[in-house]
């Protein structure tokens, strides 16, 4: 405690702008600590500690730092004793103490709680579901730290109360992963609602992350055109956001042609072959088949063509496809 030139008593004060600090793993962060001395820095001593270990100290104008934890002398001249932590990891989480001393009787202490976290990674498996079928959807939350997230399934902004228990796993790097399952069977007869997975975690600082689940209302069709002695068949499908999916024209054991679809609004493929309806032996029915990437389901539809006013199954004979 000193008296200023005006005779006013000036006492040492130390304070922080935030007693709780968070940062991403492998980033640099400042733990705030400021002070107002009663005089200059001549008699000021500043020490940062954690769990009884000294990390950085300043005394009699001398500054001692570690490679990972340091105060800056230029900032100390401005009465800023904030501690810079470099390349933080989970092990750096904890309570830090900034102690400022000016005289034996003037000791000020500031405590800062610090947590390291990782950004959440969220995805759905499968990334889409098919209407009119029972689907099991998994919401995956990966590489989070610390603590467990809250995982909710939401339909048209309404949180669902019934879903499977969350499965937790600890990873080798001390982060964690979680999976929540939901069984859902939307109908094409109804207006398909919006369904999503919503995740809350302290690293989001009060916000939430939400990922929507696309629902496929599929429309698989085939077209057949006679060209001379050959038939040209076109398979088309829409009603789904395609993602490396495969549409085929195939027989029971053979694939005549196939196409990969990723961003198209309509996925299509075609094949040309000779029709034979005299020899029943060795004949095979042709179908359009859609296989979805990441979904353990295929959609098929027989290929039909018009012959003398009658709708017949399109028959392909081995050795006669072109």
Residue pair 276/283 in contact (Cβ under 8 Å)? The answer is yes
Going by the DSSP 8-state scheme, the letter that residue 189 receives in this structure is T
In 3D, which of 261, 221, 33 has the Cα closest to residue 128?
Answer: 261
Burial of 191 (0-12, 13-18, 19+ CB in 10 A): exposed
SS3 of the chain: helix, strand, coil, percent, to 5: 5, 55, 40
Convert the pLDDT of each residue in 244-274 to its tens digit.
Answer: 999 999 987 789 999 999 988 999 999 987 7
Q: Tell me the domains of the chain and their CATH numbers.
A: 2-117 (2.60.40.10), 121-216 (2.60.40.10), 219-321 (2.60.40.10)
CA distance 285 to 313: 7
Residue pair 266/237 in contact (Cβ under 8 Å)? The answer is yes
- CB atoms near residue 10 (< 10 Å): 14
- Give the residue-averaged pLDDT of 306-319: 44
303: pLDDT strictly greater than 70: yes
Contacts (Cβ under 8 Å, ≥6 apart) of 134: 183, 184, 185
Convert the pLDDT of each residue in 117-145 to its tens digit.
Answer: 888 899 999 999 888 888 889 999 998 88
Convert the pLDDT of each residue in 31-60 to its tens digit.
Answer: 999 999 887 888 899 999 999 999 999 998
- Tell which wins on pLDDT, 160 or 199: 199
| Predicted local confidence at residue 192, as pLDDT | 66
Convert the pLDDT of each residue in 168-185 to its tens digit.
Answer: 999 888 889 999 999 888
CA distance 97 to 114: 11
Average model confidence (pLDDT) for the chain?
Answer: 85
Termini Cα distance of the chain:
100
| Predicted local confidence at residue 283, as pLDDT | 43
Contacts (Cβ under 8 Å, ≥6 apart) of 225: 231, 232, 234
Convert the pLDDT of each residue in 212-231 to its tens digit.
Answer: 999 888 999 988 888 777 88
């Amino acid at each position: 405690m000193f008296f200023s030139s005006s005779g006013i008593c000036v006492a040492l004060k130390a304070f922080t702008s935030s007693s709780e600090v968070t940062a991403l793993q492998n980033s640099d962060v400042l733990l705030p600590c400021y002070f107002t001395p009663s005089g200059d820095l001549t008699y000021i001593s500043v020490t940062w500690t954690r769990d009884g270990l000294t990390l950085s100290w300043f005394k009699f104008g001398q500054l001692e730092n570690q490679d990972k934890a340091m105060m800056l002398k230029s900032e100390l001249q401005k009465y800023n004793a904030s501690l810079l932590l470099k390349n933080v990891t989970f092990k750096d989480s904890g309570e830090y103490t900034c102690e400022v001393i000016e005289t034996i009787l003037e000791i000020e202490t500031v405590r800062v709680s610090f947590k390291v976290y990782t950004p959440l990674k969220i995805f759905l498996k499968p990334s889409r579901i098919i209407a009119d079928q029972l689907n099991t959807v998994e919401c995956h939350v990966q590489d989070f730290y610390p603590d467990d997230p809250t995982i909710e399934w939401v339909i048209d902004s309404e949180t669902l109360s019934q879903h499977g228990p969350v499965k937790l796993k600890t990873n080798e790097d001390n982060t964690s992963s979680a999976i929540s399952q939901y069984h859902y069977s939307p109908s094409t007869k109804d207006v398909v609602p919006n369904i999503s997975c919503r995740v809350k975690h302290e690293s989001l600082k009060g916000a939430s992350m939400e990922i929507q689940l696309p629902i496929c209302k599929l429309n698989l069709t085939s077209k057949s055109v006679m060209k001379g002695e050959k038939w040209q068949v076109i398979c088309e499908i829409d009603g789904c956001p395609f993602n490396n999916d495969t549409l085929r024209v195939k027989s029971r054991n053979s694939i005549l042609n196939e196409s990969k679809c990723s961003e198209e609004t309509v996925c299509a493929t075609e094949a040309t072959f000779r029709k034979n309806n005299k020899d029943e032996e060795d004949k095979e029915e042709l179908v359009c088949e859609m296989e979805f990437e990441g979904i353990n389901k295929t959609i098929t539809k027989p290929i039909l063509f018009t012959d003398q006013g009658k709708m017949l199954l399109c028959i392909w004979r081995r050795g006669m496809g072109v």
